Structure 1
């Protein structure tokens, strides 16, 4: 409808006569003009604005200026701020109404904050507007918002003791105003702020999308929030039914704030969102799956005033805009604009009585904070951020025979409390599912029994471990006994009679005579080596056919402790290419000596006493020092 016709409409509805010399209140509206898919479209909201102006009557005459924020059938982030600037430049409004779409609202709100001009809307649901910083300090939201939905969800989690994790699925085409993204954003931020592990994923509208969704659900949560068209929910639930995800271990919350899925449609009856134009088998599968679905909607105000104004809105929409509307929760937005205008008028009147003016925009906005009053949409409670507290309804399949969804509870935003209707939620397993069951997500938990064993397997395993322990113990005991026996036998000991001095061949020929000599006066210092070379300075002998070096130990008594016995045993067992082999010691007093294999090339002493080797004195001193050590 063209702007002049709209102005005539408002003038006719207001029905007031301007007092002489008085300046009318100027309201400027920036909303979509024709697209009825928006709850804040002008054909839906216009009659409510006109009724509010009519309610003000002679006390506060109003001039209304409307501009469209719609471009090519959708909200325009580009067009809305330009139209708002034109309104400010040419009409200098006292109050801006709208926009309802998030991106245009963000742009216009920045200008309104700069102008210190109150901006009132029942849309702009995004969580980002909750922080009224310098960019949005004059923004007042008199309608529902995503953060309030998040508060309701957190209260639900507290009631059901879901304190660990949740999974979020939503449709986000990144075109238009992204309604599903901004709706579920409030749930995400609220749950994350409550220290829950929250995972989210965009639903893929393509072949394989339902399979990807159920895979995401399995991996991330038992408490699932879904925001998107009803067709998307049907596809996910059918796949979940095939994968047995609707057996009671999961619960699916469908965020349908305007309750469109509960309204009658071409293929479904009222209160039966599971109905669809599908095969009989699919319809039955959906009906069974929807038993684990809970629908969250705004709460329709139960007061008589709302029902009356809704009927008047429907009549005026048909009369002045030529559109046929049915009662729905979308009319709540129009009612919130109505209450917002009256709230502004009330606060403006108080400001003027206190000596202020219409230009005191910041003062007017501050006076709206924390305000409570009864409007046509019930009790209106504004919080400290100038966002309205919102009521919600939780729907469940209350009648399993018919499959009808009925209210199970409603949430009071002002009281932060859930009121249960008495209709039980039909949990498949008789109780709400656990949000973080043992070993479902934390697979590294040591308490998880990943491979449960039967009784027979446990007995067999215990028997095997017992036999292994017995075998190891027996081996260690046997090894210790053998070691003790070996130490006691002293196999490393050399008797003095076993050492042979003189020519080995002559010794073998006269085997009947053995020498028992002490080191003193013996001639074994000049025996021939196995290589036929003379070693003048090495004391050598023969032991079992091996040439050994006889090294005297200058002690009168040797005490064989256990540690000494171990060391002697280890020395006898050591065999390597470089060090000479150790045959053993002789401990027959007074002939204490050790018998390593003789090194044919001689020792350091041989080198020092060999006059044929010319060594300078510094090198000789070094060798002597080594010998002394």
Structure 2
């Protein structure tokens, strides 16, 4: 699970269960009133391997989750419309039953990694024909990899395109939970090949969208616009303003620390704790420190995963 903070935008990379628990926590902190934009990425559509991104879990906190999810933008790949892919999926289900005595559930999708491997083999076979007729050093993997740049593959699973630096051109959509719907509504379509976007549905937001980068009362909540004019401030007033600042802070909170642990089998098995110390405007030095921290965390996680193998 990863969290990235960019001013009033918080990007969440993780599983749906974790994300719902996180949104319930920020709802408790009064951070879903429109001052913050929460962006979550769904890397692929699969109920088993990723889960269902929705606020409804059939629990007593569904109503809170519904209100919290109104501040969420969901970024995911566009729905697959290729009819040939359905034919391939049916073939995989048939062979799974025939060769391995494994039966898929009626609405279950085949293993997405099997489909990805199938695509890789087909693309490599296509490029292998080109490689064998080109003056390419077969021991130079980097040169062979560059042959995939600026290429379009018309596969029976769909069209796969790579740009001039080898990045895949993927059609994406941006969705939002509107009108209490259990599933999100598409508000924006992004074309990977044409590099264009098309508005589909208007954005619904608790306050005028987009929210300002800087809160009305400032990052500290002690702006002169929000303080009494007589200049006499009690300790209680200052503490109240500080607590209120947390709810409307519109900065990257480099000092926010997230701890999580398995507490119980209750729906709130994961608790997110927000450290209120050191909330401040996002600066270039803070950005550099945050990037270094994220890189170090990624390297540590990678090394730990290798040691577990």
TM-score (norm 1): 0.32
Partners of 2:71 and 2:124 lie apart in 1 by 43
Do the aligned partners of residues 347 and 244 (structure 1) sit closer, same or farther apart at CA in structure 2, a change above 3 Å counting? same
Do the aligned partners of residues 365 and 283 (structure 1) sit closer, same or farther apart at CA in structure 2, a change above 3 Å counting? closer
- Deviation of 1:438 after TM superposition, in Å, equals 4.7
Partner residue in 2 for 1:449? 225
The question of whether the paired residues in 1 share the 8 Å contact of 2:13 and 2:41 is answered with: yes
Partners of 2:212 and 2:130 lie apart in 1 by 52
Partner residue in 1 for 2:34? 248
The question of whether the paired residues in 2 share the 8 Å contact of 1:258 and 1:328 is answered with: no
Partner residue in 2 for 1:338? 118
Among 414, 419, 426, the alignment partner of 2:193 is 414
Partner residue in 2 for 1:431? 209
Among 78, 87, 97, the alignment partner of 1:299 is 78
- Deviation of 1:357 after TM superposition, in Å, equals 8.2
Partner residue in 1 for 2:160? 380
Query: What does 1:159-198 correspond to in 2, within 5 Å?
Result: 171=1, 181=2, 198=5
Partners of 1:341 and 1:264 lie apart in 2 by 24
Partner residue in 1 for 2:150? 370
Query: What does 1:101-140 correspond to in 2, within 5 Å?
Result: none
Partners of 1:413 and 1:451 lie apart in 2 by 49
* C-alpha RMSD of matched pairs (Å): 3.6
Residue 98 of structure 2 is aligned to residue 319 of structure 1: yes
Partner residue in 1 for 2:133? 353
Residue 13 of structure 2 is aligned to residue 234 of structure 1: no
Partners of 1:393 and 1:320 lie apart in 2 by 37
Partners of 2:138 and 2:209 lie apart in 1 by 57
Greater Rg by CA: 1
- Deviation of 1:450 after TM superposition, in Å, equals 4.5
The question of whether the paired residues in 2 share the 8 Å contact of 1:291 and 1:397 is answered with: yes
Do the aligned partners of residues 257 and 361 (structure 1) sit closer, same or farther apart at CA in structure 2, a change above 3 Å counting? closer
Do the aligned partners of residues 334 and 430 (structure 1) sit closer, same or farther apart at CA in structure 2, a change above 3 Å counting? farther
Do the aligned partners of residues 231 and 349 (structure 1) sit closer, same or farther apart at CA in structure 2, a change above 3 Å counting? closer
Partners of 1:329 and 1:387 lie apart in 2 by 25
- Deviation of 1:363 after TM superposition, in Å, equals 4.6
Partner residue in 1 for 2:55? 274
- Deviation of 1:431 after TM superposition, in Å, equals 2.2
The question of whether the paired residues in 1 share the 8 Å contact of 2:54 and 2:182 is answered with: no
Q: List runs of 5+ in structure 1 lacking aligned partners.
A: 1-170, 172-180, 189-197, 200-220, 266-270, 459-629
- Deviation of 1:360 after TM superposition, in Å, equals 6.6
- Deviation of 1:223 after TM superposition, in Å, equals 1.3
Partners of 2:167 and 2:41 lie apart in 1 by 20
- Deviation of 1:274 after TM superposition, in Å, equals 0.8
- Deviation of 1:247 after TM superposition, in Å, equals 1.7
- SS of the counterpart of 1:278? coil
The question of whether the paired residues in 1 share the 8 Å contact of 2:55 and 2:65 is answered with: yes
- SS of the counterpart of 2:225? coil
Partners of 2:78 and 2:8 lie apart in 1 by 26
- SS of the counterpart of 1:233? helix
Q: Which fold has the larger relative contact order, with Cα–Cα distance below 8 Å and residues 6 or more apart in sequence?
A: 2
Partners of 1:427 and 1:366 lie apart in 2 by 44
Q: List runs of 5+ in structure 2 lacking aligned partners.
A: 232-309
How many residue pairs get matched?
Answer: 229
The question of whether the paired residues in 2 share the 8 Å contact of 1:252 and 1:294 is answered with: yes
TM-score (norm 2): 0.60
- SS of the counterpart of 2:209? coil
Partners of 1:448 and 1:251 lie apart in 2 by 26
Do the aligned partners of residues 423 and 371 (structure 1) sit closer, same or farther apart at CA in structure 2, a change above 3 Å counting? same
- Deviation of 1:273 after TM superposition, in Å, equals 0.9
Partners of 1:359 and 1:341 lie apart in 2 by 19
1:574-601 Cα shifts (integer Å, max 9, x gaps): xxxxxxxxxxxxxxxxxxxxxxxxxxxx
1:406-439 Cα shifts (integer Å, max 9, x gaps): 222232333333333x222321224232344454
Do the aligned partners of residues 334 and 378 (structure 1) sit closer, same or farther apart at CA in structure 2, a change above 3 Å counting? same
- SS of the counterpart of 1:368? coil
The question of whether the paired residues in 1 share the 8 Å contact of 2:77 and 2:173 is answered with: yes
Do the aligned partners of residues 367 and 311 (structure 1) sit closer, same or farther apart at CA in structure 2, a change above 3 Å counting? same
Partners of 2:35 and 2:48 lie apart in 1 by 25
The question of whether the paired residues in 2 share the 8 Å contact of 1:335 and 1:376 is answered with: no
1:502-561 Cα shifts (integer Å, max 9, x gaps): xxxxxxxxxxxxxxxxxxxxxxxxxxxxxxxxxxxxxxxxxxxxxxxxxxxxxxxxxxxx
